[in-house]
Chain A
């Protein structure tokens, strides 16, 4: 694998994770628990989709085969997607959505902080832009972790169940394969082992303040780096890609 291939693969991982979590959040549109929260979660979804456009556009340029961001987003199948498994998990109740978002936002916060000093100028620029937005997202999801975790008996129980259920998907966020190793060596990507330490520290602090127990699950579900997904991704893609595939090249 050469540097160009590694970069393409890495950009797909970043772009696909943003795309899929953005799409999941957009499913809340018009269904939020309260109006303000409906607006907030859709604002966040929009940031992720915007971030995806930047990342997949650049991925297409790096690949050099003439694929643009739309073709990458809409014309690939399940096994070609590289998004983290946690991003494709269904929304569940609001505790589940917030838990998923908090675990992922915290990861994004530290990852993009590292990417800001990437030696690849385009990645550094995208990261600098997105990091400012992620900071707002993380603040929002953190507040909801406190509100639900340290809320009523029922909200606490639902939040604890959500983090317990999702915990098995967090390990793969920090996996380092040949792509990561090469890009870390080239100064393009940050070392995920370091990010893991920051992530764990922050998650522990928030869990403690939200009166949540750290999950004790030891099982780890992995596979996204090889395109092995949970059954949920196929349904998501079917809905997300339908219009583009039914009306190729349509403009509005």
Chain B
């Protein structure tokens, strides 16, 4: 038995899977889904973790299997790759806008953050009121990929999707 879907169609179907922790963007927009291969009745999906210890990976793997089973693809292999290493540069502008609207300050364009070692915090725009008068509370936020900030204008705390 062969699979009656094209690779493009499978990508489209998998684009319905949201990131488990940031449900406003899907796993393609986030750059986690790397490749789809079809061989006879076997569908091989390649994904890459954002952070090494990201607990969402197992959930994403299960979501992919469930999604494909719904359209009748039973034999699914999900492979985890580490190279090339995931980078926030893979998140496109449209997805960044979705993050911002969700209340998470999106990552800056360059992922090469020279300031990381020097301990300088970035000038970030508050995703809620747009003010640049913000400060970092902690480099480590509610998940591995986020840092915790506070806006000094509207006084709201917010997450920043930190560059990697």
* Option from A36, A39, A130, A138 in Cβ contact (under 8 Å) with B52: A130
State whether the Cβ of A139 lies closer than 8 Å to any Cβ in chain B. Answer: yes
A138 to B139, CA, bound (A): 11
Interface status of A54 (Cβ within 8 A of chain B): yes
Within 8 A of B (CB), among A125-167: 125-126, 128-130, 132-133, 135-136, 138-140, 142-143
B116 touches A47 (CB 8 A): no
Residues of A within 8 A of B142 (CB): 39
Q: Which of A43, A53, A128, A135 contacts B83 (CB 8 A)?
A: A128
Q: Across the two chains, which residue of chain A brings its CB closest to B138? A: A36
- Docked Cα-Cα span, A140 to B138, in Å, equals 9
A46: which B residues are within 8 A, CB to CB? 51, 53, 55, 144
* Min distance, Cβ B152 to any Cβ of chain A, angstroms: 17
* A121–B53 alpha-carbon span in the complex (Å): 20
B138 touches A129 (CB 8 A): no
Q: What is the number of residues of chain B that contact chain A, defined by CB distance less than 8 Å?
A: 26
A1-42 contacts to B, CB under 8 A, are 36-37, 39-40
Q: Cβ of A50: which chain B residues have Cβ within 8 Å of it? A: 49, 51-54
A124 close to B (CB within 8 Å)? yes
If over half of B's interface residues share one DSSP class (helix, strand or loop), that class is named, otherwise mixed; here it is loop
B45 at the interface (CB under 8 A from A): no
Q: Which of B82-105 contact A (CB under 8 A)?
A: 82-86
In the bound complex, do residue B119 and residue A139 qualify as a contact, i.e. CB atoms below 8 Å apart?
Answer: yes
Nearest neighbor of A116 in chain B, beta-carbon distance: B85
Per the bound structure, the CA–CA distance linking A43 and B140 in Å amounts to 7
Assuming the A-B contacts A135-B117, A139-B117, A143-B119, are A129 and B85 also in contact, with contact meaning beta carbons closer than 8 angstroms in the complex? yes
A48 within 8 A of B: yes
Asked if residues B53 and A125 are in contact (CB atoms below 8 Å), the reply is no
The answer to whether A128 and B117 touch (CB under 8 A), given A51-B53, A136-B139, is no
Interchain CB contact under 8 A, A43 and B144 = yes
B52 touches A125 (CB 8 A): no
Is A49 an interface residue when CB atoms closer than 8 A count as contact?
Answer: yes
B residues less than 8 Å from A136 (CB atoms): 116, 139-140, 162
Please tell me if the beta carbons of A132 and B55 are within 8 angstroms of each other in the complex: no
Residues of B within 8 A of A45 (CB): 53
One digit per residue, 1 when the CB lies within 8 angstroms of any chain A CB and 0 when it does not, for chain B 59-96 equals 00000000000000000000001111110000000000
Known A43-B144, A50-B51, A51-B53; judge A139-B139 contact (CB<8 A): yes
Q: How far is the CA of A139 from the CA of B114 in the complex (A)?
A: 11
Interface residue B148 (Cβ < 8 Å from any Cβ of A): yes
Query: Is B17 interfacial (CB-CB < 8 Å)?
Result: no
Whole-angstrom CA separation of A45 from B54 in the bound complex? 11
How many Å from the CB of B61 to the closest CB on chain A? 13
24 contacts across the A-B interface (CB closer than 8 A)? A43-B143, A43-B144, A46-B51, A46-B144, A47-B53, A47-B144, A50-B51, A50-B53, A50-B54, A51-B52, A53-B52, A54-B52, A121-B83, A124-B83, A125-B82, A126-B82, A128-B82, A128-B84, A129-B83, A132-B164, A133-B144, A136-B140, A138-B117, A139-B139
